[in-house]
A and B are shown apart, each in its own frame.
Chain A
Amino acid sequence: MNPLELLPGKIAELVHELSVLPYNNMEGHVTSPWTLTNYVVWGLIALVTTMIMFIVVANREKKQIALAAQSGDVTALAPAGRLVGALEAGVEFIRDMATDVIGPKDGPKYVPLLGTFFFMILISNMFGLIPAGKSIGGTIGGTVALALISWLAFVWIGFSKNGAYGYLKSLIPEGVRQMPPAGRIILGGFIFLLEFISYFIVRPLTLAVRLFANLYAGHIILGVFSGFVALFWPIFEKDLAWSIGGVGAGALALVFLILMYAFEVFVAFIQAYVFTILTAVYIQSSVHASEH
């Protein structure tokens, strides 16, 4: 039997597994918004893990700071351990991103928001790489939810920092605003329309679709390669040529699977980073809207 004949079934199964399903019934359907789904369960695991990590590390930092203040011994402030070091590096990374992109004055204010995006997406992505695990970014519902928060944040900041008129006016470039009335109205109106769509529709849409598409594609690729391994590897036909070919193809698929796994770990970081830095860029353009 040609193992490739089984592939469509495998892929259909894979696509089904990646969709939003009740956590306890893979065959069932999500009938109401309150159904506890596979994504929610894995999201909860990621959330609890993230919270525990941060609570442990923050408690440790508070204790050490108090110790240093009390005894005057600055060695209490020395870096310690991998978890503490990793979270410190992550927080510093986000803080540097915020000050670099948004500016040293306004940047630090948005560190908690950007940090929540980054760590939530990153850690959830890592859980999504566990076989059968799910990432928030692996379903469009999750990424839409995150993109809406990002959208809400930068639109809110834009309006509150510049006022409604100031913010909307900033969508039209300075040069166009100073044109004679005809050009101002026609060209300005056209640019305003484009920029409006770009700011308020394209930005959140691309944020949501980019994260989802990257992770979904990654999960599909991993699923397909592991499907190949599963399909080819155990096949020992009477025909020796088929057996050798099956083992060879399975081994090749396994090598690719491992390489793709490494790549997906990279993607998990990159996508968390991209989502966060784009949100930072959008916030920056809102904070400084009236300057251009």
Chain B
Amino acid sequence: MRRRLMAIIRKEFIHIFRDWRTLLIIILMPILMIVLYGYAITLDMRNIVFGVIDDARTPDSRALVDAFAENGFFRTLPRDVRRNEMESLFMRRDVHMVLVIPEDFSADLTQNRSAVVQLIIDASDSNVGTFVGNYAEQVLGIYNQRMNHAVPALFEIAPRIFYNPDMNSTNFFVPGLVALILMLISALLTSIAITREKETGTMEQILVSPVHAREIVLGKVLPYVLLGLVNAALILLSAWILFDVPVRGSLALLGLLSLVYVFVALSFGLMISTVARTQLIAMFGTLMATILPTIMLSGFIFPIASMPELLRWIANVLPATYFLIIIRAIMLKGVGSAELWPQALILSGIGTLLLTAATRRFRMRLE
């Protein structure tokens, strides 16, 4: 058993290191992906341009405009906006919001009447619309208090934001990207490993030898575990260097659980390779079966809790769902093994199940 397994493992390593171009791609692709996606995917809004129609033209109205512009979120269009050009500004996407301050704004303020300002928001992108609206309301609230310290508010909500105090969406997405990329690359590695041998005919030569299915399967997975771990380390390092995503929990625990996750992904790839006949089908199948569900259903972007029941079921069997919980918890919250063991256990379970299924599906006979 050990001799046959070692022979397969040694041969697989020779394949990996002989083909240094592929090896380079395997190592560089994840880094490239995290750079591209990491910078592209963000929900943070900065520099929202807004136009101002200021009919009051008083120190109070200018103070209101400054209140909007004084942090990084809003930026005024550097000129006055005329009423009749407002629509074309929205259509050309030159502005996301227009603030209309009426002529009697200051008069209302000084006479203690409630002053009304109008906000016109482009909500064609509902996320942006909601964000702009919420944020503008906060700015107005602050301004109101500033002008009106005499009247205390009835009650006040004082939020304190934990784990990601800047509400930086990079901190949310980058761990997710790590999960996505690791799943994709690892599954690709093994999905090709067996179909390649089917295509070249060497698999037939192995099958007439007394090798067990489990020896072939293990011999294929183990070398790639090492490669997957190198990938995991590089991706995490890039995340840390490029995006400043913290690792607040134990690095050792993160490493260990990444290993479990890589093992699951490799087993999944192997499962695909026992079904697919050609390398092309294997690659395509792996792409479809990893990227889509991982992005859409694992909680990578959309919260699982708000999905319809059927999709929630699917989400519950995706390995990425559990690894996302783990990696976000360790990186952002510093959570330890005491809280994460259920997810770790489920992941190991899925991995073992997939590997067993792959071994079973992997027929010792050619049929």
Partners in one complex: no
Residues of A within 8 A of B (CB): none
